[in-house]
């Protein structure tokens, strides 16, 4: 079979280079996934235990010791849902975990996680029955009272749940002006326990105030009629900086736990000292000199204005490195930052090294980590990729190394 242009280029790049050089692997760390089949040149994700611990303590300080429901959806924001839960569970500040996909909730229980798990995502009746049997709490916002009662009767134990109220994000949650009958119905059922009541901000500073007002009014009216709403929670990372009046009984951050500021302006505020706990790295697989007028990338996206050294790194958009990285992101090798040029293809990107051959095959290339200039927020600022895309889009197939 005639190989396609892309498959030819990819094998052509990787194999002779890898076989023709022996990288220095002395510093290689043990990996946490079955990664022994990965090439030592392949990208990997590092998770920094100490930075995670620090971030959790920082958040706890900010919220005066309120419990933290850690959002670890979407493969733990790239860290691996099982890895992150196992690292966070021993910290007393962590109350429990929130995920969106049902399979992630089951993965947590399979991994022996014992703290509360809140399922923010959808389920059908059978899913719910299986989940409840494993102490996975549903987030409820529709008239599921009879179905929940039935499941509680099967398991012969009270069924804990959280109620989601939509105060304006329009995504999931019972609209605040229709919440009262639903909450009353759930509260009246002896087999059910309302353990929490929550909302999500739109993160529009002005409208957030209105949302908070709606939530407070709705909750106060229900509480005044004797309904216990459990722990009220609303604060993801953004409100940790912007809305101390919305910390309620528990906070619900994701990005801040991973040590990344969800908005760049939060970096200078001095409110939280966050240390990135997730890095993306790989090794240089090829270094060569382009002559003036040579091109690089599909569609000749880059044209060499002069003779220039370039380095190829085996990280592409299929690994989670966004295509927009070619619009200004820089990658660090041996302490220097080099721009991503041409275009990011599925499995490779190219760096402009300059007039001197300053890097060599096998050198470690850091796409982001906790160093100034290489933080996820720096990458985000330089090319416009969101920090959420940088972390959550990391391929689950990449090996994870816990440091
Ligand atoms: C309902 C809910 N709560 C909390 C979070 C955590 O958000 P962040 O990562 O911005 O802290 C998310 C994430 O999008 C969410 O969907």
List, for residues 186-213, the tens digit of each pLDDT value. 999 999 999 999 999 999 989 999 999 9
> In whole angstroms, how large is the CA radius of gyration of the chain?
24
pLDDT of residue 4 exceeding 50, the answer is no
Spatial contact of 332 and 373, defined as CB atoms under 8 Å apart: yes
* Atom number of ligand 1 nearest to Cα 388: 9
Spatial contact of 208 and 160, defined as CB atoms under 8 Å apart: no
Ligand 1 pocket member 71 (CB < 6 A): yes
CA separation for the pair 48, 53 (Å, rounded): 9
Interval between CA 71 and ligand 1 midpoint (Å): 6
> CA 25: distance to chain centroid?
29
Quickly state the pLDDT bin for 378 (edges 50, 70, 90). very high
- Tell me the mean pLDDT in the region 367-388: 97
Give per-residue pLDDT as tens, 126-160. Answer: 999 999 999 999 999 999 999 999 999 998 989 99
> CA 184: distance to chain centroid?
35
Minimal-distance CA residue to ligand 1 atom 5: 236
pLDDT of the residue at 36:
63
pLDDT of residue 18 exceeding 50, the answer is no
Minimal-distance CA residue to ligand 1 atom 13: 254
The closest of 295, 286, 262 to 375, measured between CA atoms, is 262
Interval between CA 235 and ligand 1 midpoint (Å): 8
Look at the block and give the residue holding tokens 């500073």: 205
Interval between CA 328 and ligand 1 midpoint (Å): 28
Which of 59, 71, 121, 272 has most ligand 1 atoms within 8 Å of CB, for mutation? 71
Spatial contact of 211 and 201, defined as CB atoms under 8 Å apart: yes
Interval between CA 338 and ligand 1 midpoint (Å): 33
Interval between CA 236 and ligand 1 midpoint (Å): 5
pLDDT of the residue at 24:
41
Checking 50-53 for CB contacts under 8 A at 24+ apart, the result is 51/259, 51/275, 51/276, 51/277, 51/370, 52/84, 52/87, 52/88, 52/257, 52/258, 52/259, 52/277, 53/91
- Tell me the mean pLDDT in the region 65-71: 98
pLDDT of the residue at 27:
41
Give per-residue pLDDT as tens, 164-175. Answer: 999 999 999 999
Quickly state the pLDDT bin for 37 (edges 50, 70, 90). confident
Checking 372-379 for CB contacts under 8 A at 24+ apart, the result is 373/330, 373/332, 373/337, 374/330, 374/332, 374/337, 375/260, 375/276, 376/260, 376/276, 376/278, 377/260, 377/261, 377/264, 377/267, 379/325, 379/329, 379/330
**Of the ranges 33-42, 263-272, 326-335, which one carries the lowest mean pLDDT score?**
33-42
Give per-residue pLDDT as tens, 175-187. Answer: 999 999 999 999 9
Quickly state the pLDDT bin for 228 (edges 50, 70, 90). very high
pLDDT of the residue at 38:
78
- Tell me the mean pLDDT in the region 69-79: 98
Spatial contact of 220 and 36, defined as CB atoms under 8 Å apart: no
Spatial contact of 172 and 164, defined as CB atoms under 8 Å apart: yes
Burial grade of 230 (CB within 10 A; 0-12, 13-18, 19 or more): middle
Tell me what percent of the residues of the chain surpass a pLDDT of 90. 89
């Amino acid at each position: 079979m005639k190989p396609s242009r892309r498959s030819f280029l990819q094998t052509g790049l990787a194999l002779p280079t890898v076989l023709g050089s022996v990288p220095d692997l002395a510093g290689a760390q043990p990996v946490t996934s079955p990664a022994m089949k990965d090439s030592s040149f392949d990208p990997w994700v590092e998770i920094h235990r100490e930075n995670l611990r620090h971030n959790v303590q920082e958040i706890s300080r900010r919220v005066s010791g309120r419990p933290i429901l850690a959002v670890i959806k979407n493969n733990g924001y790239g860290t691996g849902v099982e890895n992150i839960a196992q690292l966070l569970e021993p910290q007393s500040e962590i109350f429990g975990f929130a995920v969106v996909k049902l399979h992630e909730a089951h993965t947590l229980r399979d991994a022996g996680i014992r703290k509360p798990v809140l399922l923010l995502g959808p389920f059908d009746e059978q899913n719910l029955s299986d989940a409840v049997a494993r102490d996975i709490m549903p987030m409820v916002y529709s008239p599921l009272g009879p179905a929940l009662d039935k499941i509680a009767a099967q398991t012969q134990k009270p069924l804990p749940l959280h109620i989601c109220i939509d105060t304006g994000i329009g995504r999931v949650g019972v609209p605040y002006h229709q919440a009262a009958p639903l909450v009353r119905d759930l509260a009246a059922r002896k087999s059910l326990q309302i353990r929490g009541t929550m909302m999500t901000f739109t993160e529009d500073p002005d409208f957030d105030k209105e949302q908070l007002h709606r939530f407070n009014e709705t909750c106060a009216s229900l509480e005044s009629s004797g309904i216990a709403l459990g722990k009220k929670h609303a604060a993801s990372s953004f409100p940790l900086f912007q809305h101390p009046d919305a910390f309620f009984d528990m906070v619900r951050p994701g990005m801040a736990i991973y040590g990344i500021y969800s908005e760049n302006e939060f970096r200078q505020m001095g409110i939280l000292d966050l240390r990135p706990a997730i890095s993306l790295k790989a090794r240089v697989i090829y270094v060569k000199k382009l002559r003036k007028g040579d091109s690089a990338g599909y569609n000749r996206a880059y044209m060499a204005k002069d003779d220039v050294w370039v380095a190829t790194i085996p990280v592409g958009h299929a690994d989670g490195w966004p295509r927009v990285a070619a619009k200004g992101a820089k990658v660090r090798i041996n302490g220097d930052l080099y721009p991503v040029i041409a275009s990011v293809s599925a499995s490779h990107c190219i760096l402009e090294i300059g007039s001197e051959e300053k890097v060599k095959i096998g050198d470690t290339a850091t796409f982001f980590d906790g160093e100034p200039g290489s933080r996820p927020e720096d990458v985000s600022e330089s090319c416009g990729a969101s920090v959420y895309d940088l972390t959550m889009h990391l391929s689950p197939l990449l090996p994870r190394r816990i440091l």
